[in-house]
């Protein structure tokens, strides 16, 4: 008996986690997928009824806004955070004496909750008392910066706050990448008289392709999951102008009592994450097996 126990201890230790993952991750995904194919409203129902919920999503102007917002927000957030992160990393890579302190400053927002970030930016972007009022107070009476309350522009305030929060992290990733490039190659290039900026564009940056991919995955993942920042900064408003799929799902689940819509929008989010992460995970795991 004790021999059996001894031999199977690794499996016994892993078993509870295995069960937890199968139930709380995969089982729950299955439950949500199933319910997204029913007519569930306030209470879940289990009779399948084709793709009715997805048809409702497709015709819902609110969900359309949410998807368009995700596209605008996601694209701008990913592109700007990557460019800014790379720029900061390259600037910091020039043998800067205060590098440690600057790195700490650029990265600290990442330690904050999105709710804190949203609260801070909501105050800064407050048209009556924040940045707008300040610049007007300096004598630029016609200065306007009321994006927070402008339905067409509010989504960009979320982009600003999200970039402030995450670009330092991208910088840290890229900086680690820059430092891992072979010193000898760089020295050889310098000896050959290749201009400094060419060393970056022709040698260092191309060799960091895997880091670009990781940064992209992390940022895309953050963008799709963005929920707290929107809640704290705009509450999804004005109206539902800054809704994202995550806030749409939450509203359907907990304030509208529309479980079918909540489940189907969650599945759409899941599919978007799938499309981005699965090829990445697949390639990662394959490389490790070789």
Restricting to residues 4-63, which ones interact with other proteins according to CB under 8 A? 6, 9-11, 13-14, 16-18, 20-22, 24-29, 31-32, 35, 44
What sections of 114-233 are H helices per DSSP? Answer: 114-124, 131-137, 154-179, 183-191, 196-198, 209-225, 228-233
Of 46-54, 69-77, 84-92, 140-148: span binding other proteins (CB under 8 A) = 84-92
* Tokens linked to 147: 């994006």
For residues 203-232, which are near other proteins according to CB under 8 A?
Answer: 210-211, 214-215, 217-218, 221, 224-225, 227-228, 231-232
Query: Is 33 exposed, middle or buried (CB count within 10 Å of its CB: 0-12, 13-18, 19+)?
Result: middle
Strands (E), the chain: none
Contact flag: residue 169 with other proteins (CB under 8 A) = yes
Q: Which of 68, 115, 185, 209 binds other proteins (CB under 8 A)?
A: 115
For residues 127-146, which are near other proteins according to CB under 8 A?
Answer: 129-131, 133-134, 137
Contact flag: residue 192 with other proteins (CB under 8 A) = yes
Of 64-72, 117-125, 139-147, 201-209: span binding other proteins (CB under 8 A) = 117-125
- The sign one gets for the Cα dihedral 119, 232, 31, 222 is negative
Query: Is 102 exposed, middle or buried (CB count within 10 Å of its CB: 0-12, 13-18, 19+)?
Result: middle
Residue 95, sorted as left (phi over 0), alpha (psi -120 to 50) or beta, turns out to be left
For residues 226-285, which are near other proteins according to CB under 8 A?
Answer: 227-228, 231-232, 235, 245-246, 249-250, 253-254, 259, 262-263, 265-267, 269-270, 273, 277, 281, 284-285
Q: Which of 144, 195, 239, 275 binds other proteins (CB under 8 A)?
A: 195
Question: What minimum distance in Å lies between the beta carbon of 235 and other proteins?
Answer: 6
CB 81 within 8 A of CB 166: yes
Interface with other proteins: number of residues (CB under 8 A)? 102
Contact flag: residue 153 with other proteins (CB under 8 A) = no
Cβ-based nearer residue to other proteins, 151 or 235: 235
Q: Which of 58, 68, 83, 105 binds other proteins (CB under 8 A)?
A: 105
Q: Which of 123, 187, 201, 283 binds other proteins (CB under 8 A)?
A: 123
**DSSP structural state of residue 254:** I
Contact flag: residue 186 with other proteins (CB under 8 A) = no
Contact flag: residue 111 with other proteins (CB under 8 A) = yes
Nearest to 169 by CA among 225, 229, 85: 85
Question: What minimum distance in Å lies between the beta carbon of 155 and other proteins?
Answer: 19
CA distances from residue 223 to 163, 218, 235, 249, 263 in whole angstroms, order as listed: 11, 9, 16, 15, 19
> What is the b/e burial string over 121-138, where b = at least 16 CB atoms within 10 angstroms of the residue's CB?
bbebbebeebbbeeeeee
Nearest to 60 by CA among 201, 196, 260, 285: 260
């Amino acid at each position: 008996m004790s021999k059996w126990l001894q031999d199977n201890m690794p499996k016994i230790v892993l078993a509870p986690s295995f069960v937890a993952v199968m139930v709380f991750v995969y089982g729950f995904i299955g439950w949500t997928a199933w319910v997204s194919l029913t007519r569930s409203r306030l209470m879940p129902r289990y009779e399948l009824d084709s793709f009715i919920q997805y048809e409702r999503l497709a015709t819902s102007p609110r969900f359309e806004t949410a998807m368009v917002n995700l596209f605008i927000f996601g694209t701008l957030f990913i592109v700007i955070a990557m460019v800014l992160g790379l720029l900061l990393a390259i600037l910091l890579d020039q043998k800067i004496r205060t590098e440690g302190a600057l790195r700490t400053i650029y990265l600290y927002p990442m330690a904050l909750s999105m709710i804190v970030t949203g609260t801070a930016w909501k105050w800064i972007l407050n048209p009556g008392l924040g940045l707008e009022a300040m610049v007007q107070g300096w004598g630029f009476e016609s200065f306007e910066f009321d994006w927070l309350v402008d339905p067409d522009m509010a989504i960009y305030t979320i982009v600003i706050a999200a970039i402030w929060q995450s670009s330092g992290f991208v910088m840290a990733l890229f900086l680690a990448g820059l430092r891992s490039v072979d010193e000898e190659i760089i020295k050889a290039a310098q000896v050959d008289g290749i201009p400094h900026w060419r060393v970056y564009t022709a040698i260092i940056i191309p060799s960091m392709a895997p880091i670009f991919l990781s940064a992209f995955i992390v940022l895309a993942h953050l963008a799709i999951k963005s929920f707290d920042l929107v809640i704290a900064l705009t509450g999804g408003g004005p109206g539902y102008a800054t809704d994202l799929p995550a806030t749409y799902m939450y509203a359907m689940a907990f304030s509208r009592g529309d479980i079918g819509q909540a489940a189907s929008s969650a599945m759409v989010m899941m599919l978007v994450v799938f499309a981005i992460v699965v090829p990445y995970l697949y390639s990662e795991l394959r490389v490790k097996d070789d």
